[in-house]
Amino acid sequence: MMLRVLFVLDPLPALNAYKDSSVAMMRALEARGHAVSVALQGDLFIQDGQVFASATPIALVPGADLHKKSWWTETGAATDTLLQNFGAVIMRKDPPFDMEYVYTTHMLEYAQSLGARVMNSGDAIRNHPEKLAITEFPEFTTPTLVTRDMERIKAFHSAHKDVIVKPLDGMGGTGIFRLSVNEPNLNAILETLTDNGNRTIMAQRYIPEIKDGDKRILLIGGEPVPFCLARIPLAGETRGNLAAGGRGVAQPLSERDWHIARAIAPKLAARGLLLVGLDVIGEYVTEINVTSPTCFVEITDQTGFDVAGRFVDALEAAVSKAV
């Protein structure tokens, strides 16, 4: 069964196609004979009780240099199309998770009620904020505090000595600070992150195993991918994020990784999350990424495991089940 698949994502020229997971998905879909269309978040609209996208059909250029901006071609004009007329709608818009993003998830959720097949589903994305979602699984997390109360954070820091603090809406390692036992800028950092007590943040006990990498474990269709990408920080850095200069090294899942992934994956898949990226440091889950999890290309290039192919398998199975 040939599917018309709509990607809701960032502008194509802004994607680094040579390493972008959404592009890897598109390539795998085309290899199976499916058709791809794209739309921006602002191209979605509701009119007369129906949800549409001004969607542009594209094709990937065979043999294109993915380091350049000529890897795709438009195969038709943008057309207003009901979301339920696509075989699947894949939500891949990167954060920030602002109110426009929230409105988009509501549109997608409404489209689902009308028969659209949206992955990840709008309500599931909205109900699983990527940092807060770990609090559902305290057995797999390091000691964690979520609050805007600076005195409470200071008490947490005093108890645990070495603490990571971060905003709830950051991505790529932005806004993350390590507060060691004698941090001279403690007050200034907390005042800035909490906006003087007006913004909620997260504090976690520091996990020294970060030196071995912040592992991205992919869950697809309720099953873990057997390889993760350990994002190893630069010397002197506490953030492993690739956007912060981390080095990505693919490796098999450890016994602990398998235990965590198999415990969490079925629960999230049952809620409409086809693709999830767990961030694991040492023994602990630090984030549950549901908006646009990445690392497909790095894992595939280093191990030969076809992550995008596994994703298309799961997508086809989900669509067949929904029909």
189 shares its domain with 252: no
What are the start-end ranges of the H helices in 70-132? 99-113, 122-126
In-domain check, residue 131 = no
Determine the pLDDT at residue 239: 58
Determine the pLDDT at residue 171: 73
115 shares its domain with 216: no
Alpha-carbon torsion (22, 23, 28, 31), positive or negative: positive
In-domain check, residue 318 = no
Catalytic positions, please?
Answer: 131, 166, 216, 231, 239, 279, 287, 289
In-domain check, residue 127 = no
In-domain check, residue 21 = yes
pTM, whole model, 2 decimals? 0.93
Q: Give me the CATH number covering residue 91.
A: 3.40.50.20
Range of the domain at 289: 209-305
Determine the pLDDT at residue 233: 80
Determine the pLDDT at residue 80: 98
Q: In 169-317, at which residue ranges do the beta strands (DSSP E only) sit?
A: 177-179, 201-205, 214-220, 223-224, 227-232, 247-252, 275-281, 284-289
175 shares its domain with 224: no
Nearest to 90 by CA among 168, 148, 146, 10: 10
185 shares its domain with 229: no
Determine the pLDDT at residue 175: 87
11 shares its domain with 107: yes
102 shares its domain with 173: no
Determine the pLDDT at residue 25: 98
Determine the pLDDT at residue 241: 60
13 shares its domain with 112: yes
In-domain check, residue 258 = yes
Low-confidence ranges of the chain (pLDDT < 70): 235-245
25 shares its domain with 46: yes
Tell me the pLDDT tens digit for each residue of 110-135.
999 999 999 999 999 999 999 999 99
Determine the pLDDT at residue 185: 94
Determine the pLDDT at residue 244: 55
Determine the pLDDT at residue 245: 65
85 shares its domain with 24: yes
Distances from the Cα of 158 to the Cα of 155, 176, 183, 200, angstroms: 5, 18, 11, 19
222 shares its domain with 301: yes
Determine the pLDDT at residue 8: 98
Determine the pLDDT at residue 243: 61
